[in-house]
Copies of this chain bind each other. A is one copy, B any other.
Amino acid sequence: MSAKKNSGRGTVSAWQEEPAEILRVGPGFVLADVDPDSTPGFSGGKTEGKAELAADADLLSDTQERLFAASKGDATDAVLLVLQAMDTAGKGGIVRHVVGAVDPQGVALTAFKAPTEEERSHDFLWRIERRVPEPGYIGVFDRSHYEDVLIGSVRKLAEPAEIERRFDAILDFESRLGDRNIRVVKVMLQISPDEQKRRLAERLDRPDKHWKFNPGDIDERLLWPDYQAAYQRVFERTSTEAAPWFVVPANHKWYARVAVQRLLLTALTAIDPQWPAADFDVEEQKARLNASTV
């Protein structure tokens, strides 16, 4: 899918450059250089962003249906969207407004919390492997195996050597996903500390938002520089050709949403799923149906 191209919905996209290219973490990437207020590649503002999101929702939904249908034939393709971010960066909004446009029957969503006792008794990838999407599905990880190298190192829950072992295990795991035709789209939503402060303050100001607030959110916030360094390390170690990272500036929620939608569309378009051929004799079944008076 090239930028500026009519993406099949009857209007020309406001994307001037593809998020899959300009947001991709490549060699020499420096997280601190990303401006969370920026809107790379998109030619409009909030109004255009919302219009683009709405206009492409049907395209995303239709392409997902083809992905699902193709899995009823021989295709094994699936997509796995990995979402990582500091608190309040907007993961939930991505799930609600981007993923929410897709038929729920084609989505497998997992929100990973602190591991349970059973999960801790296995290797860190055990609970992850169990949630890898089946053929035809868009899997979504709200937090993921990357927590085990992020909070794992920031909170010193594991020794440095164990963190390194986990990085190697992650590379091996994601490489195997690629072998199984599961396209991994890894997204980090980047907000600024000031924007986080505003968003946490809103949760404290509004009684209908209190349930979203946890005092631990401020504990994590105080470790901001450590998390940024841990993310930088994650990008250097795990942004591969097969499973690259995309860092999405997220101070503007509308931008983050439309950018992640476009990244999903790019992944689906690359798969180019096809309606499967019937595995039955269509004419024979038409005759049977015609004769079936009940």
Contact = CB atoms under 8 A, between A and B. Distances in A.
A154 interface: no
Interface in A179-210: 193, 197, 200-201, 204, 207-208, 210
A67 to B, nearest CB: 11
Contact of A211 (B72, B92, B286): B72
A97 to B, nearest CB: 9
A231 interface: no
Given A204-B286, A289-B197, A294-B225, A211 B73 contact: yes
Interface string A273-294: 0011110101001101100111
A239 to B, nearest CB: 25
A264 to B, nearest CB: 14
A96 B105 contact: yes
Contacts of A208: 69, 275
A55 to B, nearest CB: 17
Interface residues of A, number: 46
7 contacts: A95-B104, A100-B100, A104-B104, A204-B286, A211-B276, A218-B289, A221-B289
Nearest to A222: B292
A168 interface: no
A282 B199 CA distance: 15
Given A207-B275, A292-B222, A294-B224, A103 B104 contact: no
A84 to B, nearest CB: 16
Assembly stoichiometry (copies): 2
A289 B204 contact: yes
Contact of A104 (B107, B200, B277, B285): B107
A8 interface: no
Contacts of A107: 104
Given A197-B289, A222-B294, A285-B218, A213 B104 contact: no
Contacts of A277: 210
A60 interface: no
Nearest to A281: B215
Contact of A213 (B73, B215, B280): B280
A292 B210 contact: no
A280 B217 CA distance: 12
Nearest to A294: B224
B210 A276 contact: yes
A200 B294 contact: no
B294 A201 contact: no
Given A103-B95, A104-B104, A204-B289, A294 B218 contact: no
A274 to B, nearest CB: 10
A104 B294 CA distance: 39
Contacts of A225: 294
Given A210-B275, A211-B72, A282 B204 contact: yes
